[in-house]
Amino acid sequence: MAIDPVTLAVIENGLRQVCSEMDLVHEKTSFSPVISEAFDRSNGIYGRENGEMIAQGELGLPIFLGVMQFATGAVLERRRDLERGDVIIQNDPYLGGTHLMDVKMIMPFYYQDELWCFLSNTGHWPDTGGMVPGGFCSTATEIQQEGLRLPPVKLVRNGELVQDVVDIILNNIRVPEERIGDIRAQIGALRTGERRLTVLLDRYGVDTVETAITELKERSEQHMREVLSGVPDGHYSFTALMDSDGVVDEPLEIALDLTIDGSDAHFDFSRSSPPCRGPMNSVWATTQSAVYVAMKHIFPEVPINAGCFKPLHIKPPRGTVLYAEYPRPVAGCAAEVAQRIMEAVFGAMGQAIPDRLFAAPAGTSGNFALGGHDPEMRRDYIMYFFTGGGYGGYVDGDGLTNGCSTVGISKTQPIEILEQHYPLMFDEYALREGSAGPGRHRGGFGVSYRVRLLRGEGKASFLMDHGRTGPPGMIGGGAGATNKIQVSQGGVVTEPRHTSKGEGYLLTEGDWVQIKTPGGGGYGAVAERDVELVARDVRRSYLDTNDTSSD
């Protein structure tokens, strides 16, 4: 059946609005600040046949664009017993996942007694057990050390919570009273989607909505092919570097060979480093999703659904760090490795269409976890904190300062909220002047903050990147400042041996942690920078800093 453009647009926005309402319910009812304040979650609608993405909310984390359709597809393959009222929970990275802290829930959606689609979501839980509070164990050498790994199991059966499953989860993680709140928030978001999607189908009918979905996928594929056709055919290569895997203190390479052939793009990462001992391996679903998100950064005008992924052909990089298999540890895959994959895509595409690209962004989420016991509040706690950094300069101007990570739209949690929740004080939270990569258009600035423990004890861990080399510049621009970590214990200040990764730091009252995040790379040669802009930077003290780490 034919569908008119107005109805098509209304249904497209209606599907997206269903997902956005799910996002809001998820956000507003979660107990963890990382979800309620930082928006580290996503909700979407996925196809009943194979889990293909139909729609995702505008407020959802972009890295879950591809991941959630792979996770939903994995559930369909393994659970043929799903019925109305069931909810599956799973966080297995090797089954279309990311790291263990990203917990997925999948619910079959029935309309008029027929399975119509699946509603799925992901929420980052601040802890799923494991060697260190927060799950970002930089020295893990197997997945069991990172936390509780859940296969697809029924959390809700026929509308009722399966208490045995809940008990297993809560008895294997820290701060269970917070996790049960997050569990109920995710279920509540799915129920909201169920109600809102029913209203949409009641209004327009199944045939019209399904026709619209097919049309939207076809148009999205066509749009992606149109923009790819504007990229010069050819072979382009770029290698992004990771500091280390947290266990072996040697750099890892993410090497991309990109081929543009008409309206198709072929991505080959087979020259990348072999699987590593530490947690900087990426599972296949995350590797693919990182490519999708990178292309969305480059071509934001292309609507997102399963259709736009079809012209993007990613060769499975078996035998590399980007195709992790059991029991490889993967804690850093979504927040860190994914950003190196995206950096490689940006670097390769920048050779083909430099006017459309930008120099490398900070490229790290700055994962910092602090867990311990608060003697005043008489309760355990875990704080998971991530920060922004500088984005790279581009053809029309300087890079964005303190932008969120390239894998998400999540934001840094308000420090006032964190100080209310946890026994700590932020002595500093400021822009990191001098961190921007120089160029005709300089990069944006990173941030600098210091956290001091007020009472009790806490154990700190870090899983970051770009501490050995800064985000690279483009077409002659300079690199941004490297990541920098300092820890003060009893007045003795040290830095992690692996520069951007470390764990096991026991803090007591008065001890502090100082983090300085990278700035973005510069675009174009610094000699080409407008003299008035140079004068402005000096006048504002942007370049006058004692922070030698940016050298």
Sign of CA dihedral 200, 203, 207, 209: negative
pLDDT bin (cut points 50, 70, 90) of residue 550 is: very low
Position 110 pLDDT exceeds 60: yes
Write down the residue that tokens 């001091």 correspond to: 452
Give the pLDDT band of residue 58 (cuts 50, 70, 90): confident
Burial class for 425, CB neighbours closer than 10 Å (0-12, 13-18, 19+): middle
Whether the CB-CB separation of 462 and 494 falls below 8 Å is answered with no
Question: Is pLDDT of 66 > 80?
Answer: yes
pLDDT tens for 506-528 read: 999 999 999 999 999 999 999 99
Model pLDDT, residue 400: 96
- Strand partners for 264: 261
Q: Is the pLDDT of residue 361 over 60?
A: yes
Average pLDDT, integer, range 124-134: 96
Structure-token match 């190196």, residue found: 340
User: 258-306, pLDDT tens digit by residue?
Assistant: 999 999 999 999 999 999 999 999 999 999 999 999 999 999 999 989 9
Let me know the angle formed at the C-alpha of 282 by 281 and 286, rounded to the nearest 5 degrees. 165
CA atoms lying within 13 Å on the CB side of residue 439: 35
If you average pLDDT over residues 443-465, what whole number do you get?
97
CA quadruple 429, 431, 435, 439: dihedral, nearest 10: 160
Question: What distance in Å separates the CA atoms of residue 97 and residue 333, rounded to the nearest whole number?
Answer: 10
Lowest mean per-residue pLDDT among 321-335, 503-517, 525-539: 525-539
Average pLDDT in the 239-258 region?
98
Q: Where are the alpha helices (DSSP H) in 3-63?
A: 5-29, 33-36
Top pLDDT among 546 and 410 is at 410
The answer on pLDDT for 98 being more than 70 is yes
Q: Say if residues 16 and 55 touch (Cβ distance below 8 Å).
A: yes
Mean pLDDT value of segment 194-199: 98
Confidence of residue 60 (pLDDT cuts 50, 70, 90): confident
| pLDDT mean across residues, the chain | 95
pLDDT grade, residue 538 (50/70/90)? confident
Whole-Å CA distances, 345 to 64, 358, 360, 488:
18, 11, 10, 38
Cβ neighbours of residue 43 closer than 8 Å, sequence gap 6 or more:
19, 22, 23, 26, 56, 57, 60, 119, 120, 121, 189, 190, 193
What percentage of the chain has pLDDT greater than the value 70?
98
Tell me the CA distances in angstroms from 200 to 16, 18, 168, one per residue in order.
Answer: 11, 9, 37
pLDDT at residue 368, rounded to an integer = 97
Q: At 41, phi and psi to the nearest 5?
A: -165, 170
- pLDDT the model gives residue 551: 39
Please report the pLDDT score of residue 549 as a whole number: 43
For residue range 75-95, list pLDDT tens digits in order: 999 999 999 999 999 999 999
Core vs surface per residue 493-514: b (16+ CB within 10 A) or e? eeebebbbbbbebebeeebbbb
Assess whether the previous peptide bond of 327 is cis (omega < 30° from 0).
yes
Q: What whole-number distance in Å separates Cα of residue 280 and Cα of residue 463?
A: 9
Cα–Cα distance for residue pair 313/311, rounded to 1 Å: 6
